[in-house]
Amino acid sequence: MLREQGVNGQLEMAAAFDRAGFTAIDVHMTDLITGRVSLQQFNALVACGGFSYGDVLGAGGGWAKSVLFQDRLREQFAAFFANPDTLSLGVCNGCQMISLLQELIPGADNWPRFKRNRSEQFEARLVMVRVEDSPSLFTQGMQGSRFPLAVAHGEGRAEFQNSDMLNALESTGGVSMRFVDGTGQQAEKYPANPNGSPQGVTGVTSADGRVTLMMPHPERVFRTCQNSWHPDEWGEDAPAMRLFRNARKWFG
């Protein structure tokens, strides 16, 4: 569970991964910088949500630069992402941060950056998402599923350099999750789309599915009781729990 100054979602994330059968370890960036901990000790990396450096350097920008501008850390992250036996997840601020490490991640060529919401305000509520057909290892077997997830961000709008990049990401199955409206159609209008991302894009994945980014917070609603309403037949686990169990299943 990787965090930086200002990140606050590591305990919820650890609880979700723990419930799925992982051993969750709290790692601060200072642990990596000082060499107390190495990414090579782990087979899964989760960049958690919050507000690294208060987002004063842009959405996840300060956090990403602490990796990109330190050669030893840069090499360590590049080696981790290149290792075919590893899995990575970035949520909210962690999504923003890992998107800025794109040059270190194989198969992430057409990923967007995440910019200020069109509403020009912080959006914190439940939204409806739809899982798309993609290689993401977190969403296997969930294609077409629609369920609510929490959002809490001021800079979550996916911004592509040009329309060709978005089209290329779409055509290769790189979009793993979208905002949808009450009829299940992709949402581009507020409030169903809380940030204005084109075509409702709110989750992306690398070409081999090992690195997945999403703006919504599945860790905040993985238990049924964390949802404001749910069908009686849901039982103890909400749909978001499947994301974490998929990850555990991949490791065998």
| Residue 202 counted as domain residue | yes
| Residue 53 counted as domain residue | yes
Cα 163 to Cα 111, 136, 179, 199, 221, distances in angstroms: 12, 22, 19, 11, 33
State the CATH number of the domain containing residue 26: 3.40.50.880
Domains: count for the chain: 1
| Residue 37 counted as domain residue | yes
| Residue 123 counted as domain residue | yes
Gap between the Cα atoms of 244 and 252, Å rounded: 13
Q: What is the pLDDT along the chain (252 residues), one digit of tens a residue?
A: 999 999 999 999 999 999 999 999 999 999 999 999 999 999 999 999 999 988 777 889 999 999 999 999 999 999 999 999 999 999 999 999 999 999 999 999 999 999 999 999 999 999 999 999 999 999 999 999 999 999 999 999 999 999 999 999 999 999 999 999 999 999 999 999 999 999 999 999 999 999 999 999 999 999 999 999 999 999 999 999 999 999 999 999
| Residue 166 counted as domain residue | no
| Residue 210 counted as domain residue | yes
| DSSP per-residue string spanning 155-220 | S-EEE-SSHHHHHHHHHTT-EEEEEB-TTS-B--STTTSSS--GGGEEEEE-TTSSEEEESSBGGG
Beta partners for residue 159, in sequence order? 113
The pLDDT score that the predictor gives to residue 129 is 98
| Residue 101 counted as domain residue | yes
| Residue 116 counted as domain residue | yes
Residue 23 corresponds to which tokens in the numbers above? 């051993």
Q: CA nearest 45: which of 4, 95, 88? A: 88
Q: Which domain covers residue 53, as residue numbers? A: 2-161+171-251
Q: Which residues are catalytic?
A: 92, 217, 219
pTM higher than the cut 0.75: yes
The pLDDT score that the predictor gives to residue 50 is 92
Contact between 9 and 54 under an 8 Å Cβ cutoff? The reply is: no
